Structure 1
Amino acid sequence: MNVLVVKANNRPDGISTKMYETFLDNIKETEEVKVSTYDLFSEDMPYLGQELFTALGKIQEGVALNEDEQRLMDAKQKAKDAISAADVVVVAFPLWNFTIPAKLQTFVDYVAEAGFSFKYTENGPVPLMDDKRVILLNARGGNYSDPSMAPMEMSMSYMKNVFSGFFGMQLKDEVIIEGHNANPDKADEIVQEGLEKVAAAASNLTYQNA
């Protein structure tokens, strides 16, 4: 089993950073379980734009890409290769301004490709990654489980819709740590309880593969 653990936060003290670290600390790498990591903030990840469409056109015509176009296509291919090699994808990410970080959005943009993660049919798009599993680890300082805040939560809901829905990956587990900023007097307790759930998700994944 190949496990890809994606880090989508470069804050050393970020809660989702702690979730990422806790997961790695608790997954047991063996001959049967291989773990690789993908730190989005350490990767060269140019945003998608006209360069992509120009590059795709040039590739079809057999024309050489310029430096910026090649840089983008290399970054996109690296992300696709990482996903292709994984049986389980784990993403640790925060909610920033109601949604996911731009680096994570770029990663999604790289792999959301027709013929790779989904395909078009006469009945609409069909997922192509139903042989993979996904674990989502999300941190958000507010209480977005509260009905009054839920409509503004566009991080976990987006990731579930894309990875589980659009790509077709089986949602193996999800852990949400929330409310630690809204309830500072309970922050330590909230975070600790959440990290224990992250540790359990990592241990369960290894155990179930034994």
Structure 2
Amino acid sequence: MNILVVKANNRPEGISTKMYEAFMEQVKDNKDFNVSTFDIFEEEMPYFGQDLLNALGKLDKEEDMNEVEQKILAAKQRAKDAVIRADVLVFAFPLWNFTIPAKLQTFIDYIAEAGFSFKYDAEGNLVPLMDDKKIILLNARGGVYSAPEMAPMEMAVDYMRNILSGMFGMEVIDEVIIEGHNAMPEKAEEIVKEGLQRVSESASKLAFQEA
């Protein structure tokens, strides 16, 4: 089984960083797993914009590209290649300012490509193209966004689920969310410990998944 772990936090003490580490620790000795990490803060990933659109236009017309265009097209291709090789994708990410980190948004922008992760049929309906892939979402958020009054402000897990599953067709096989450790500092250690245990359990269950 080819597992791609997308690490989307560059804070060494970040809780979603600890979730990433707990997952990697659990799967490291399983010889049936081929595990790779795509660290979005270590990768050169220029933001989606006109440079990428120019590069894609020149690629289509087989025109020469400048250095900036070559770099951003190469970055996009690295992200696509990593996804292509994966049977299971694991995303370890925080909620920052109610949503995902900008670097993770760029990764999604890179793979959100018609003909790659989705297409449109003759009637204009969206058709997912990645229903052969499975995903696990590992998220940390300091507040308690499962509370009804806060749920509308949670635009990280909801976004990832809607795009990866709803648009691309990937199957969500597990979600582990650690929340409330900042809102309830007196319970933070207990909250994080319990959450990391659930991460390890999620990784253990992968052995029973079919690639």
TM bin (shorter chain): over 0.9
Return the TM-score normalized by structure 2: 0.97
Where does residue 15 of structure 2 map in the other structure? 15
CA shift at 1:50, angstroms?
A: 0.8
**1:177-196 pair list within 5 angstroms:** 177-196=178-197
User: Partners of 2:32 and 2:194 in 1: how far apart?
Assistant: 29
Give the distance between the partners of 1:29 and 1:157, measured in 2 at CA. 32
Residues 66-77 of structure 1 aligned to structure 2 (within 5 Å): 66-77=66-77
SS of alignment partner, residue 4 of structure 1 = strand
Q: Amino acid of the residue matched to residue 105 of structure 1? A: Q
Partners of 1:186 and 1:167 lie apart in 2 by: 37
Unaligned runs of 5+ in 2: none
Give the equivalent residue in structure 2 for 1:98.
98
Instruction: Judge which range, 84-93 or 115-124, deviates more.
Output: 115-124
Give CA deviations for 1:61-113 in whole Å, capped at 9, x if unaligned.
Answer: 21111000000000000000000000000000000000000000000000000
Counterpart position of 2:45: 45
Instruction: Please list, as runs of the form range in 1=range in 2, the aligned pairs for 1:142-157 lying within 5 A after superposition.
Output: 142-157=143-158
Identity %: 65
The TM-score, its normalising length taken from structure 1, stands at: 0.97
TM-align CA RMSD = 1.3
3-state secondary structure, aligned to 2:64: coil
Structure 1 residue 30: Cα displacement = 4.0
Query: Partners of 2:45 and 2:32 in 1: how far apart?
Result: 31
Task: Write the mapping of 1:1-210 to structure 2, written as runs, cut at 5 A.
Answer: 1-121=1-121, 122-208=123-209
Across the two proteins, how many residue pairs are aligned to each other? 210
Q: Provide structure 1 residue ranges, at least 5 long, that are not aligned to the other structure.
A: none
